Amino acid sequence: MITFFNPTCNGPLGWLCVGITALFGVTVLCTAKRSPVGKENILVWSLLPVLLGLLCVAMLGTGVGLVVFCTSCLVSSMYLSSTVLLPVGDKAVLITGSDTGIGHALAKYLDSLGFVVFAGVLNKDGPGAKELRRACSQRLSLLQLDVTNAKQVKEAFLKVSEKVQNTGLWGVVNNAGILGFPADGELLPVSTYRMCMEVNFFGAVEVSKTFLSLLRKSRGRLVNMSSMAGGIPLPRYAAYGASKAALAMFSGVMRQELSKWGIKVAAIHPSGFRTGIQGTSDMWDKQEKELIENLPEDTRHAYGDEYLLGLKSYLLHMPAYCDANLSPVLNAVLHALLAKRPHGLYTPGKGAYLPLCIFCCFPLWFYDFFISKMMSSQPVPRALRTSEAESKNH
């Protein structure tokens, strides 16, 4: 028979349970009040342990029920502590690569929340910069910032230092990045590897090292935009993935080293978002021409012109498989900037979990098999098609 919970009948343990419930409820309400986002999730996470605990007390008795209830409150409190966001106030954030894509959307988003935004752009007179001037408040400042240009990085530092003065800079978001031309690693010219490393890795390192003195003043945040391709191996992303993997490792080491200064470091690994990073048709034509012209004759013959020319179609169809809604990425960056306890790694995007779980939890041969099946619709090099045809004939 179920005996419903009555604190009077259950003695001191019953009143202890009531006290814990009240304390937890007050904590949740204070948390929800301070947090500018995610109030719905907070209320859900507050009600679940209370209902679970009371049900356990009613069915299992006060002693066992209280243990279960306290455990559920502890788990819920750990989650709630990660949802508490600091007030925006007059916090200043530098974002690189704000011309297009995630950087552009992030500059608008943070500006709308009240941040003082320094938007670094590759072209201060380009359409992206003009749109930021039109759509954002007077708090936003545009900076001419090519992250591969040490002089421009230094000039940007001086301009930001002049504006933030003794308060320091709260956040640096290393977002600037390039994709290059997705192709087999054997086909990519070394210049593509160098270009990806210069922008995606060395550029982020240059900006980080230059602005760390301002982050130290505010005990702020360093956020690096890596990629799912930097965490797991993906075909056709040898150059891009290697540069993002280097950035991810840099983020991990800096997270450990900068913690003594009170600076928190996070890496964002988005997957499957439509950002425009793949570039324009003219850029593809130029990169395709460079790729084909620099191939050794035997390599070009083995792959065949049909395979090589088909690489561009992969780029053309890529946006169709990507999510146009960048909100998960923007929310991840916001959490990394404002959470009292930010995560070291964020993986926004629905497509990230399955391949990431398989890569981490299964043997490598199974992961390789899984990826090969995902890529099975891609064209086959000429030499392999010829050998397959010959084996069938025999």
CATH no. for residue 324?
3.40.50.720
Please tell me what DSSP assigns to residue 393: H
Residues 136 and 271 in one domain: yes
Distance from C-alpha of 181 to C-alpha of 215, rounded to nearest angstrom: 35
Pick the catalytic residue from 109, 237, 240, 367: 240
Q: Active-site residue 240, yes or no? A: yes
Q: Is residue 139 part of a domain?
A: yes
Residues 198 and 310 in one domain: yes
Q: Is residue 145 part of a domain?
A: yes
What is the domain range of residue 192? 92-353
> Across the chain, where does the E strand assignment appear?
92-95, 116-121, 141-144, 171-174, 221-225, 264-268, 345-346
Q: Is residue 212 part of a domain?
A: yes
Residues 74 and 100 in one domain: no
Residues 162 and 27 in one domain: no
Q: Is residue 369 part of a domain?
A: no
Distance from C-alpha of 245 to C-alpha of 251, rounded to nearest angstrom: 10
Residues 58 and 191 in one domain: no
Q: What's the number of domains the chain is made of?
A: 2
CA 71 distance to own-chain centroid: 31
Give the pLDDT of the chain (394 residues) as one tens digit per residue.
444 455 555 556 555 655 666 665 555 555 544 444 445 455 555 566 666 666 665 665 555 555 666 665 655 555 555 568 899 999 999 999 999 999 999 999 999 999 999 999 999 999 999 999 999 999 999 999 999 999 999 999 999 999 998 889 999 999 999 988 888 999 998 989 999 999 999 999 999 999 999 999 999 999 999 998 898 999 989 999 999 999 999 999 999 999 999 999 999 998 876 666 655 666 677 777 778 888 889 998 898 888 887 777 766 666 666 667 888 999 999 999 999 999 999 988 876 677 888 888 899 999 999 988 877 777 788 888 776 555 555 5
Residues 40 and 71 in one domain: yes
Residues 211 and 334 in one domain: yes
Q: Is residue 251 part of a domain?
A: yes
Residues 63 and 141 in one domain: no
Residues 133 and 26 in one domain: no
Residues 200 and 324 in one domain: yes
Q: Which residues contact 278 (CB under 8 A, 6 or more apart)?
A: 179, 182, 284, 315, 318, 319
